[in-house]
Structure 1
Amino acid sequence: MKAPGPGLFQFIRGVKQRGFLEFAGKQWREHGDVFKVDIGRRTLMFVMHPDAVERVNLSHRQNYDKRASYDSVRKYLIGDGLVTSSGELWRRQRKLMAPFFTPKGIQTYADLMIRDTARLVERWQGLAAAGTEVEIAEEMTFITASIILKAMFSTETMESIHQMKDAVGTMISFTDTKMTGVHLPLWVPTSRNRKYLAARELVNRSITSLIAQRRATDEANWPDDLLSRLMKARDEETGQPMSESLLRDESITAFFAGHETTARTMTFTWYALAANPKVTERLHEEIDRVLGDRPLAAEDLRQLPYALQVVKEVLRLYPAAPFYVRDAVAGDKIGGFDVPAGAAVMLSPYYTHRHPQFWDDPEAFDPDRWTREREKARHDHAYHPFAAGPRVCIGNNFSLLESHVLLVMLAQRFTPRLRPGYVPQWIMEGTLGLGNGLPMTIAAR
Structure 2
Amino acid sequence: MRTPGPRLLQFIHGVRKRGFLDFIGTQWREHGDVFQVRIGRRTLLFAMHPDAVEHVSVSHRQNYDKRASYDSVRKYLIGDGLVTSSGELWRRQRKLMAPFFTPKGVQTYADLFIRDCARLVERWQELAAAGTEVEIAEEMTLITASIILKAMFSTETMESIHQMKDAVGTMIAFADTAMTGFYLPLWVPTTKNRRYLAAREMVHRSIAAVIAQRRATDESTWPDDLLSRLMKARDEETGQPMSEVLLRDESITTFFAGHETTARTMTFAWYALATNPKVTERLHEELDRVLGGRAPTADDLRRLPYALQVVKEVLRLYPAAPFYVRDAVAADKIAGFDVPAGAAVMLSPYYTHRHPQFWDDPEVFDPDRWTRERESARHGHAYHPFAAGPRICIGNNFSLLESHVLLVMLAQRFTPRLRPGYEPRWVMQGTLGLAGGLPMTIAAR
Percent of aligned positions that are identical:
87
- Aligned mates of 1:213, 1:27 — CA distance in 2: 53
Matched, 1:37 2:44: no
What secondary structure is seen at the aligned counterpart in 1 of 2:380?
A: coil
C-alpha displacement of 1:394 = 0.1
C-alpha displacement of 1:183 = 1.5
- Letter paired with 1:421: G
What is the number of residues matched between the two proteins? 445
Instruction: Quote the residue 1:68 is aligned against.
Output: 68
Instruction: Quote the residue 1:224 is aligned against.
Output: 224
Instruction: Quote the residue 1:165 is aligned against.
Output: 165
Instruction: Quote the residue 1:384 is aligned against.
Output: 384
Instruction: Quote the residue 2:335 is aligned against.
Output: 335
Instruction: Quote the residue 1:22 is aligned against.
Output: 22
C-alpha displacement of 1:431 = 0.4
Q: What's the TM-score once normalised by structure 1's chain length? A: 1.00
* Alignment of structure 1 residues 76-87 onto 2, 5 Å: 76-87=76-87
Instruction: Quote the residue 2:204 is aligned against.
Output: 204
* Alignment of structure 1 residues 101-120 onto 2, 5 Å: 101-120=101-120
- Per-residue CA deviations over 1:204-239 (Å, capped at 9, x if unaligned) read 000000000011111111100000000000000000
- Aligned mates of 1:50, 1:410 — CA distance in 2: 34
- Aligned mates of 2:261, 2:183 — CA distance in 1: 26
Instruction: Quote the residue 2:307 is aligned against.
Output: 307
Instruction: Quote the residue 1:155 is aligned against.
Output: 155
- Per-residue CA deviations over 1:387-406 (Å, capped at 9, x if unaligned) read 00000000000000000000
Instruction: Quote the residue 2:395 is aligned against.
Output: 395
- Aligned mates of 2:58, 2:341 — CA distance in 1: 18
- Aligned mates of 1:409, 1:338 — CA distance in 2: 49
- Aligned mates of 1:217, 1:414 — CA distance in 2: 44
- Aligned mates of 1:25, 1:214 — CA distance in 2: 49
- Letter paired with 1:65: D
* Alignment of structure 1 residues 250-399 onto 2, 5 Å: 250-399=250-399
- Aligned mates of 1:338, 1:301 — CA distance in 2: 47
* Alignment of structure 1 residues 108-187 onto 2, 5 Å: 108-187=108-187
C-alpha displacement of 1:182 = 2.5
C-alpha displacement of 1:278 = 0.3
What secondary structure is seen at the aligned counterpart in 2 of 1:104?
A: helix
Matched, 1:427 2:427: yes
- Aligned mates of 1:91, 1:397 — CA distance in 2: 19
- Aligned mates of 1:223, 1:108 — CA distance in 2: 13
- Aligned mates of 2:275, 2:331 — CA distance in 1: 45
- Aligned mates of 1:377, 1:386 — CA distance in 2: 20
- Aligned mates of 2:132, 2:87 — CA distance in 1: 50
- Aligned mates of 1:343, 1:228 — CA distance in 2: 39
- Letter paired with 1:367: P
- Aligned mates of 2:73, 2:16 — CA distance in 1: 23
C-alpha displacement of 1:436 = 1.3
- Aligned mates of 2:279, 2:370 — CA distance in 1: 13
Alignment gaps of 5+ in structure 1: none
What secondary structure is seen at the aligned counterpart in 2 of 1:231?
A: helix
C-alpha displacement of 1:377 = 0.4
- Letter paired with 1:409: M
- Aligned mates of 2:215, 2:145 — CA distance in 1: 24
Matched, 1:99 2:99: yes
- Aligned mates of 1:271, 1:429 — CA distance in 2: 19
Instruction: Quote the residue 2:248 is aligned against.
Output: 248
- Letter paired with 1:301: L
- Aligned mates of 1:165, 1:274 — CA distance in 2: 27
Instruction: Quote the residue 1:189 is aligned against.
Output: 189
What secondary structure is seen at the aligned counterpart in 2 of 1:327?
A: strand
- Aligned mates of 2:331, 2:144 — CA distance in 1: 40
What secondary structure is seen at the aligned counterpart in 1 of 2:295?
A: coil
- Per-residue CA deviations over 1:148-178 (Å, capped at 9, x if unaligned) read 0000000000000000000000100110111
- Aligned mates of 1:232, 1:216 — CA distance in 2: 14
- Letter paired with 1:439: P
- Letter paired with 1:84: T
C-alpha displacement of 1:47 = 0.1
- Aligned mates of 2:354, 2:124 — CA distance in 1: 34
What secondary structure is seen at the aligned counterpart in 2 of 1:357?
A: coil
C-alpha displacement of 1:181 = 3.2
